[in-house]
Structure 1
Amino acid sequence: MTVMIIGAGIGGLTTALSLHAAGIDCAVVEAVSELKPLGVGINVQPHAVRELVDLGLGEALARTGIATSALCYATRRGDVVLTVPRGRAAGYHWPQVSIHRGHLQMLLLEAVIDRLGPDAVRTGLSFEDFAPGALEPGGTGPVGVRLRESATGRLVQDGADVVVGADGLHSAVRARLHPRDNELRWSGITMWRGITECDPFFDGATMVVAGTQYGAKIVAYPICPKAQARGRAMLNWVAEVRTAPAGTPTTEADWWRSGRLEDVQPHYADWVLPYLNVPELLAQTGRILEYPMVDKAPLPRWGSSRVTLLGDAAHPMYPVGSNGGSQAILDARYLALALAAEADPAAALARYEHERRAQTDGLVASGHRFEVDEIIQLAEQRAPGGFTDIAAVLTAQELSHMADAHQRVADMDVQALNARASWTVSH
């Protein structure tokens, strides 16, 4: 069996490593001519870290990212409403890792080249279309694919037994499979993102989420062990501001679009928290990125015959619960497991989609509810001047409801994950 993976992001590269570990031949096709460590921070949840550890990347992750100890929810004044342990502190056998997205991608790329060879990732080739008849049900032959060389414009005819579209939010493979189910859904929230070196807060490994998505919110967490070793924090921050009603149409969503300090800073002019000076954090950032918080409606199916989707191409979701990259990693691992277990590739893809859609469709929906923010907003309304003891503001039942809401979007069952058999396939 041969597999062609369209897209060399986190999901596509993890797919290549997983297929190789299972003894399945594969190659990755990437539109850009050179892969670079772009982007800002990302969180990899314990269930996804487990899969990367099983791929032999545990030590590399530990060198490159921060093992997050806790997540602190707070009001816009910085008063702590709820703190929940993360990773090993929550009982998982694996940590939650906060890491620079580009560094994680390079870590995966180096592993792919080392294990699969220098020709395993073919850059400068963009997916254009499938060959006639490639998507017909019941096909038993290779899936024909048309690629385009970005440097020359030359059309390249290629193919594989299985094709995986892992080409992100603006997936060309998804657009070909589902031309009528590809509309962006905007929450009405604009996100500005950046990375700034500053003094650490709390234990130097805690993530802070202050404010709510009903007005403005700031998310900040350290991502660099080298800065940590110097007694500093390289903070990834995300500023989320509701700038339009939910459901407002949008066609633009560019991860690399530059943002302006003057657009974001006025929303946080007085946000000097006891442990984080937000105006100063924003002002000291070298480059700010601007992005709308968007997703797409869940698909009735991902693929057709021997073609499927993976990661953001299959289930783009709001960044609630740090699920985007983590779910792409889980997709990749289970796909390899299914392809190794089933003699018929089409049956394997059907098994993969059945398993993974059941997980991701619910996460896409849960990202729209913002139940945690409702409780934080309640605390802000009851104590507009701030508080020192949350027990005087919220009832034990309300705090329990908040913890449960957090768990539904950000956690897996600890005991179930710790006890589950590995998805690694030996060959």
Structure 2
Amino acid sequence: MTKPTRESRSKRIVIAGAGIAGLSAALSLHAAGFTNVVIHEAVKELRPLGVGINILPHAVRELIDLGLGDRLAKIGVATADLTFFTPYGQRIWSEPRGLNAGYRWPQYSIHRGRLQFMLLEAVRERLGPEAVMLGSPVTDLHHDADLLIGADGIRSSVRQAMFPEEGEPLFGGYELWRGTTYAKPFMTGKSMIMAGDGRQKIVIYPIAPPGANGTQLINWAIQHPAPDGDTPRGDWNQPIDVEKILPHVQDWHCPELDIPALIAAADQVFVYPLVDRDPLPHWSTDSVTLMGDAAHPMHPTGSNGGTQAIIDARALAYALATGQGLLFYEGQRRPLTNKVVLANRKDGAEVILRLAHERAPHGFTDIEEIMPLVEREEIAVRYKQLAGFEPATLNASRSWSLEPDGSTEASGISSS
């Protein structure tokens, strides 16, 4: 490989978008020695919007390598376990997560806005206060830069300029009702619950440590078939009256948590369309590339959106720092993320909810009779392998970091 010169690392790099993807890219490029990096963000004021997000161990490893481990630990919850239930509260499957599952790095459940602002703070500290330009949208490919990185989300202007005939995001037929509630911790206080029948399902997990009053901020999201009519695509943070949601979950039972009471106590609830886009034939030209939701928007199944964006950022910086370029970056990332996009349309590991319902729509006496342990284990492992975070393989692989002296010869390729 060709080692980049000091001149090449001083080339001007413009990043469109100051979300998790764009901020992670700026930090990764800075760590790799690039000195002229600026983020252009369309909005005039950043606010910590959104609800919960999960960052899986292969992305947490990359953030720790960026020196952000202590900051993550302060604002997130180190997820300990995941349990799937039927709507009747019958346990289908449980598995440890993060450090409990044998990973060398934790999995974090965290408020999306807090994660974004943690990354923003680090960018301004390391790259300078002028590294993020607000109210400065990137609207086309003609920018004063040697490289333009489109990290501007599912409605990416950069992607649209590259693929002007693509059209609107693809609607998956479902809405997501998302909210947060302050409540007493459930199970371990670091647990994640998924319940449902595959058609309607809910995921619940805490996204902040308990406060002095003994409660913690708990994130929940319900996937429900969308009503007839034209549903806006890519229209986020639209409020909805919680009273409209309660009839859909009033009969749900869970031995670990009162789901209807949790939802009823939410301060504010938002509705999101379930959308994605088809995989692209390529992400890059000689001077432009895509990453994160601009490259591979996916259904929020398996906690992979933010995770894959962070790994994109690290892989891109590695590819540029080692002189292997955009084709190497795309070759490492596009095939894998394409598989995740398509798998998430089929519910990923959450397919276990649908299978349990199809085989025992009124409940079961013994889960082994309808879904043997070996099948449940195979579903869980298969998705981890596809998305790049099977524990043994991940633990044995290298991250996308350069060597401490800035050399590249000893750096391996991450399995993720």
Q: What TM-score does the superposition give when structure 1 sets the normalisation length?
A: 0.87
Q: Is the 8 A contact 1:3 1:164 kept in 2?
A: yes
Please give the per-residue CA displacement for 1:49-68, whole angstroms capped at 9, x wherever unaligned.
00000000000000000000
**Other-structure match for 2:88:** 77
Matching residue of 1:177: 162
What's 2:217 paired with?
A: 234
Superposition pairs for residues 20-419 of structure 1, below 5 Å?
20-24=30-34, 25-131=36-142, 145=143, 159-214=144-199, 216-227=200-211, 230-243=213-226, 251-342=232-323, 348-370=325-347, 372-380=349-357, 382-384=359-361, 386-387=363-364, 389-408=366-385, 412-419=389-396
Residue 308 of structure 1, CA deviation: 0.6
1:315-336, CA deviations, whole angstroms, 9 ceiling, x for partnerless residues? 0000111000000000000100
Moved more, 169-178 or 347-356: 347-356
Q: Is the 1:30–1:125 Cα contact (8 Å) retained in structure 2?
A: yes
Answer yes or no: is the 8 Å Cα contact 2:198–2:354 preserved in 1: no
Between 383-392 and 69-78, the greater mean CA deviation after superposition: 383-392
The one-letter code matched in structure 2 to 1:220 is I
Residues 32, 221 of structure 1: alpha-carbon distance in 2 compared, 3 angstrom cutoff: same
1:52 partner letter: L
SS of equivalent to 1:127:
coil
Is the alpha carbon distance of 1:410 and 1:242 closer, same or farther for their aligned partners in structure 2, counting shifts above 3 Å?
A: farther
- Greater strand percent: which structure? 1
Are the aligned partners of 1:213 and 1:241 in contact in 2 as well (CA < 8 Å)?
no
- Aligned residue for 2:166, secondary structure, equals coil
Aligned length: 393
**In structure 1, distance between residues paired with 2:339 and 2:25:** 23
| 1:153-173: CA deviation from partner (whole Å, max 9, x where unpaired) | xxxxxx111110100111111
TM-score scaled by length of structure 2: 0.89
C-alpha distance in structure 1 between counterparts of 2:186 and 2:290, whole Å: 40
Do the aligned residues in 1 keep the contact of 2:110 with 2:208 (CA within 8 Å)?
Answer: yes
Q: 1:35 to 1:307 in 2, by over 3 A?
A: same
1:378 shift after superposition: 4.0
- Matched residue, 2:24: 14
Cα distance in 2 for partners of 1:266, 1:318 equals 25
After TM superposition, give the deviation of residue 250 of structure 1 in Å: 5.1
Q: Distance in 2 between matches of 1:400 and 1:301?
A: 34
**Cα 1:293/1:108, change in 2 over 3 Å:** same
Q: Is contact 1:213-1:242 (8 Å) kept?
A: no
Unaligned runs of 5+ in 1: 132-144, 146-158
**Greater shift after overlay, 388-397 or 235-244?**
388-397
Going from structure 1 to structure 2, the CA distance change for 1:101 and 1:83 (only over 3 Å counts) comes to same
2:413 corresponds to 1:424: no
Name structure 2 gaps, 5 residues minimum: 1-10, 407-416
Alignment root-mean-square deviation, CA: 2.0
